[in-house]
Structure 1
Amino acid sequence: MIDRLRALRMDTTPLRASRDFRLLFLAGSVFYFGAMVSYVAIPFQVYKLTGSNFAVGAIGLVELAPIVVFGLYGGALADHVDRRKLLIGTGLGQAVFTAVLAANAFRDDPDVWVIFAVSVALASCSALQRPSREALLPRTVTHDQLPAANALSSFGIQIGLLAGPAVGGLLAAYVGIGWCFVIDACALVIASYLYLLMRSYPHREQTTPPSLAGIKEGMVYAFRRRDLLGTYFVDIVAMMFAAPVVLFPAIADQVFGQPQLLGMLYTSEVVGAMAATALSGWTARVHHHGRAIVLAAAGFGAMVALAGLMPNIWLVALFLALACGFDMISGIFRSTVWSQTIPESMRGRLAGIEMLSYSVGPLAGQVRGGVTADLWSVRGAVVSGGLACVAGVGITAAWLRDFWTYDARTDEHAIAERAVRQAAGEG
């Protein structure tokens, strides 16, 4: 029994074996902590200045286009330039823009237009940076350590997602919104310094400058590989139908009449994801990653549907935590497929395309959830979304049989990438 419990523990081998992975892990944790402090501060400040919920929602709207455009361009850029230098430059750029938010917040009469303009600039820098960070991780560990490395990276992010909003809320309420941005700017400088300490990872092959043709090449590659296509479609389907975040305020206030417990619903998601990551040691022994992604995404939908049926808010929070645990497991296996099979020359562009799936799914889910709740009911929106997720994931698996039968031990792309990495002596 004890041995079985030990087998569930998160594998920390990458942290012990790779100095550069440790630096990447720490940088990511610090980065997301600071980002989540600002994530609380920006909408709070906009609402305080305008009193408009539409103005708060408009922040996400103005950020969408930069995420799409610069995410794709950042992916192409990551396949050409020194990724480490790009991480440092974009990190320092975000620190400067965040310092502008701090200076604006400390004024007696802050300008709302400054917040929107800087939010666009920050979204652009972040979109440029993320593909390089995703593409660099596989270079820091051995091929077989990638499942554990992806789980650890997710765990570090979850720490930031859990601690950042709590710190941001306290600072905004008791010290001042400006200090939230100061903390975030400092975190960005620290993360950039940690990237600076990493060694350089030059591209293995001759590269070409980013272009529309290069971006198109990445898209064609992604859509020709049905295993990769499955990872994108499963995530989009799950988020479009079952992501319940937009309905949390209505669940707490309208359904249960306990708006003071709204924060618990948000926290339950992070706690569930952290628990799943902490017990992710078993994932390294799974080889049918497509099947694992499908089952985990279906589990996510089923738990969301059950959450919508629960008679009290505490049980809702419990099932939301279970749902996000399943979603995290799906995410770990999706990251493993990407990092174990995508060639070095394509990794940045494919990370940019991955950002699109992360953006489109939740945005469509917000619209679907809100419209369904208004036309029917809050519970109906949650339950129907969860069931639709299970059905949609099943249809996707039946459509993309190559994705369902994917086996990391026999897949040609995984074998080829393993051979390249072993020949290069990486990790």
Structure 2
Amino acid sequence: MRLGDLVVDVAPLRESREFRFLFVARLVSLFGFGLTTVAIPVQVYGLTGSSIQVSLVSLVIMVPMLAGTLAGGVLADRMDRRRLILLARGGAVLVFAALALNASLDHAHLWAIYLCAALNSVLNGLSATALMAATPAIVGRGQLAAAGALMAITAELGAIVGPSVGGALTAGLGLAWNYGLTAVATAITTGLVSFIRPLPPTGEVDENPVQSIVEGLRFVARNRVVAGLLLIDVCVALFTMPFALFPELAERVFEGGAGVVGLLYSAPAVGAMIAATASGWTGRVRRTGHYLVGATIACGVAVAGFGLSNGVLWLALVSLALLGAADTVSEILRRSLLQHNTPDHLQGRVSSLWLAQTNIAPALGNFEAGVLARLVGPVTAVVVGGALCVVTSSAVGAAMPALRRSSLQDPSADDLASA
């Protein structure tokens, strides 16, 4: 492997005008989203003084997100995908403006925060599904891995910069300014997406929505590569997400406070950013499926290493950084293989199933880690989770040779259909 292969492939940015607009739009959008990840919990806790109320916001966000994602999958295959993104992001501008107005009142309304959070989750589900479905048509099948790596970079930048700026902005100018800046960022996102060419559906759209969803499920069940991708994604999400245990581990194992908790949460993002910027090789290797299975197994090994760090903080942080790196490589390969092996007229529905899973499975994984920690202790729970990831990922790879043999160098689903 040449040194140049380790540098992120920027060909989609260089060659596609639409992708340049989409890349900047997503970066601005995720920055705005990062602001609200601080503002909403801070405001709810300030109004109620209850951590339970704050956790309820997460539940309120998750359920409508699932509904929006599934609905977005159907709509993205039945209407112009650019138009769907514009409608969803335009609606989000109004939602954030309403949050800013509510925050500027002398007595902000708690119900308004819940309502706006739910509406924004639906809109996020719609736009995220349409965006993922539109990517293959914008960049071409040959650049899916490169596009996935660049999108991963936007996600990590948004996760690192957004909350930091959001916390400083809320502390300095107040919640209304935070929400107001988010509304402006979302409006800029909407304007940037308007420069993308129309992306109308390519398949038949006369069946009813229920039949449309059934068709997507039937395709996933028949296609061993796509089914394997969804299964191996579950292995990562269920068994390598011990983030809910970080506060307890920081106190009991590493004998630290909030500063140590912050380091534990930041370490995976650092590893993810490094892996994304050194991902040029992901679109060039022939044995994509083998590398995917290997990256997934590496996630389990890294989590187990974190659990076995025995209170040595630097070793724990290195293990978490390796987890972030392996998970990012795995996600880039999973996403690109999923898009490569899905016909264009099914991109919306299959993308919605994948995004629904990526929204729900991490929450279940954190819950599983919490329950297991109550039974066997947090350290053992982390190690067991890592071991289960290794075992289940290996089992999926062994049971599904089509997944193991899959490659981005093979003809795409549309190529095979045309042939």
TM-score (norm 1): 0.93
1:282 Cα offset (Å): 1.1
Which amino acid in 1 is paired with 2:286?
Answer: H
2:126 maps to 128
Which amino acid in 1 is paired with 2:331?
Answer: G
Instruction: Quote the Cα distance in structure 1 between the aligned partners of 2:233 and 2:313.
Output: 27
Which amino acid in 2 is paired with 1:118?
Answer: C
- Aligned residue runs from structure 1 range 297-336, under 5 A: 297-310=296-309, 311-336=311-336
1:258 maps to 256
Conserved 8 A contact 1:73-1:215 = no
* Among candidates 149, 169, 176, match of residue 171 of structure 1: 169
Conserved 8 A contact 2:302-2:323 = yes
Instruction: Quote the Cα distance in structure 1 between the aligned partners of 2:251 and 2:100.
Output: 33
Aligned Cα root-mean-square deviation (Å): 1.8
Conserved 8 A contact 1:24-1:137 = no
1:193 maps to 191
2:368 maps to 368
2:287 maps to 288
Residue deviations 1:202-235, cap 9 Å, x none? 2333423661111111111112111111111111
Instruction: Quote the Cα distance in structure 1 between the aligned partners of 2:237 and 2:412.
Output: 31
Conserved 8 A contact 2:76-2:201 = no
Instruction: Quote the Cα distance in structure 1 between the aligned partners of 2:239 and 2:402.
Output: 24
Residue deviations 1:322-341, cap 9 Å, x none? 10100000000011112212
Instruction: Quote the Cα distance in structure 2 between the aligned partners of 1:166 and 1:57.
Output: 21
Which amino acid in 1 is paired with 2:339?
Answer: S
Instruction: Quote the Cα distance in structure 2 between the aligned partners of 1:264 and 1:193.
Output: 36
Conserved 8 A contact 2:269-2:324 = yes
1:56 aligns with 2:54: yes
Instruction: Quote the Cα distance in structure 2 between the aligned partners of 1:383 and 1:183.
Output: 42
Partner SS state of residue 208, structure 1: coil
Instruction: Quote the Cα distance in structure 2 between the aligned partners of 1:210 and 1:273.
Output: 41
1:321 Cα offset (Å): 1.0
Which amino acid in 2 is paired with 1:173?
Answer: A
1:48 Cα offset (Å): 2.0
C-alpha distance 31-213 of structure 1, shift in aligned 2 (>3 A): same
1:146 maps to 144
Instruction: Quote the Cα distance in structure 1 between the aligned partners of 2:106 and 2:377.
Output: 43
Partner SS state of residue 197, structure 1: coil
Residue deviations 1:152-207, cap 9 Å, x none? 11112211111111111112222212222112111110110000011112233342
Conserved 8 A contact 2:37-2:163 = yes
Conserved 8 A contact 2:337-2:407 = no
1:15 Cα offset (Å): 0.5
Instruction: Quote the Cα distance in structure 2 between the aligned partners of 1:87 and 1:138.
Output: 16
Residue deviations 1:356-384, cap 9 Å, x none? 21023112111111111222222112111
Instruction: Quote the Cα distance in structure 2 between the aligned partners of 1:190 and 1:7.
Output: 34
Residue deviations 1:77-108, cap 9 Å, x none? 00011111111110011111111111111222
1:135 Cα offset (Å): 0.8
Instruction: Quote the Cα distance in structure 2 between the aligned partners of 1:167 and 1:56.
Output: 20
Partner SS state of residue 86, structure 1: helix
1:404 maps to 404
Conserved 8 A contact 1:301-1:390 = yes
Instruction: Quote the Cα distance in structure 2 between the aligned partners of 1:29 and 1:266.
Output: 21
1:22 Cα offset (Å): 0.4
C-alpha distance 213-419 of structure 1, shift in aligned 2 (>3 A): closer
* Among candidates 190, 200, 203, match of residue 201 of structure 2: 203
1:128 Cα offset (Å): 1.4
Which amino acid in 2 is paired with 1:288?
Answer: R
- Aligned residue runs from structure 1 range 340-419, under 5 A: 340-410=340-410, 414-418=411-415
Partner SS state of residue 194, structure 2: helix
Conserved 8 A contact 2:21-2:196 = yes
Conserved 8 A contact 2:271-2:323 = yes
C-alpha distance 326-126 of structure 1, shift in aligned 2 (>3 A): same
Conserved 8 A contact 1:231-1:293 = no
Residue deviations 1:228-247, cap 9 Å, x none? 11111111121111112111
Instruction: Quote the Cα distance in structure 2 between the aligned partners of 1:348 and 1:415.
Output: 16
Which amino acid in 2 is paired with 1:391?
Answer: V
Indicate the larger mover: 312-321 or 125-134. Answer: 312-321
Of all paired residues, the percent bearing the same amino acid is: 34
- Aligned residue runs from structure 1 range 3-82, under 5 A: 4-82=2-80
Instruction: Quote the Cα distance in structure 2 between the aligned partners of 1:155 and 1:409.
Output: 23
Which amino acid in 2 is paired with 1:119?
Answer: A
Conserved 8 A contact 2:8-2:146 = yes
Residue deviations 1:263-312, cap 9 Å, x none? 22222121111100100011122222222221101101110110112132
- Name structure 1 gaps, 5 residues minimum: none
